[in-house]
A and B are shown apart, each in its own frame.
Chain A
Amino acid sequence: MSEPVTISFRLNNAQVSVTADPTAPLLDILRDTLHLTGTRYGCGQEQCGACLVLIDGQTAYACGRELATVAGHAVTTVEGLGTQDAPHPIQTAILAEQAGQCGYCLSGMQIAAAALLARTPSPSHAEIVAALDGNLCRCGAHPRILRAVARAAEMLA
């Protein structure tokens, strides 16, 4: 544990400052300090994708990122993608396809999909599969999640 320091970064389009152990995983800071619990703990080993966030628009494992490394950067969590009133197209599409069973994997899935759609507006099936392949789902919601990403791409087109 290192001495607390104050780290400033953009979080879901707002400026935040956190005084905490700079070596703490971003995941813990988001969930426990900032009370944004949508980013999920799955493995803590960068192996499942449950904790994905966007850092400057790129996907990153919040479980493996130290707080200090996001200083000055822009972090987006699932809460920043959209809300019930103003959903991101991937969220609308996930609900339209009923693309979730337990739903635990969905935060990470949506972050991975949002990153894909931002850089590849009309992704091929293979591009969607490649973008999501690091995200594990145990319930077998995969076919519906793939359909949801394709639907979200259509909504954005």
Chain B
Amino acid sequence: MYAQMVKSTGQAVRTRDDMTVEERAFQDRIDRGEKIEPKDWMPEGYRKNLIRQIGQHAHSEIVGQLPEGNWITRAPTLERKANLLAKVQDEAGHGLYLYCAAETLGVSRDELFDMLHTGKMKYSSIFNYPTLTWADMGAVGWLVDGAAIMNQVPLQRTSYGPYARAMVRICKEESFHQRQGFQVMLTMARGTKDQKRMAQDALNRFWYPALMMFGPSDKESVHSAQSMAWKIKMNTNDELRQKFVDETVPQAEFLGLSVPDEKLTWNEETEHYDYSEPDWSEFFDVISGNGPCNAERLKTRKKAWDDGAWVREAMLAHARKSRARREAAE
């Protein structure tokens, strides 16, 4: 997902007998549905996992602005441009909410940026694909934000208070993102032959990368089991992916577009769609830095950070000077 392969620090879920008194009390609080707040005692593994997960999520929001920012100046109408600008601005906001949540766990904003810029922390694989035509703005809003919503809605109930509250804000804003994307798709799909072809092409290119957003199957992963016991992960990757497929296929049919999967069929027994897995070797390639746009995304991010350095420093210098002046006058 936006936090796709969070390498867990914890081992397998510990049985109650293995837990210390503090750990047991902590797990009890989580089981009772209590929220953990920044100053509360927490196991080191919980804190570290959360920093990785929230950090990766925040980085995804920020880097996620780039593929869409690519089209702001070329949006087909002024209205679409305003819509896209508002959406991209929201993503910046989502990143900021999440960075703040991560900071409550004792990591600084600059450290988080540094880990992004040096590749020590990842962001979602989806943003390493190019956005080639305007129809991609439709596909991204519809599929990428759609997949993100699938993951973020349950995270509103996550055990860490600041993370849960950030998720509530984000979910409130997210549904416009998906709807505007779907509307772009709808307009294209009902437009000229060429426009419909572009819409289909965008779906073809984004379908499997969207399925990869949920991460590889983690049914047997002990790391995921620990995250689920701590309620920092609410569903398995496969559950969410299935839910996404089940909701999205009828939407594609409504658009009159075909999902690029010959094996896709409705299974009467399970009452779910059977679908083809994405190419996981491609996923591992992209997540480890070799996707079509990894280098470009990171370069753009770093350039923005480095070019902004003098502004950050000047504002701080100004603040210090005016404070000194104020204090001298008192």
A in complex with B: no
- Which residue numbers of B lie inside 8 Å of A, CB to CB? none
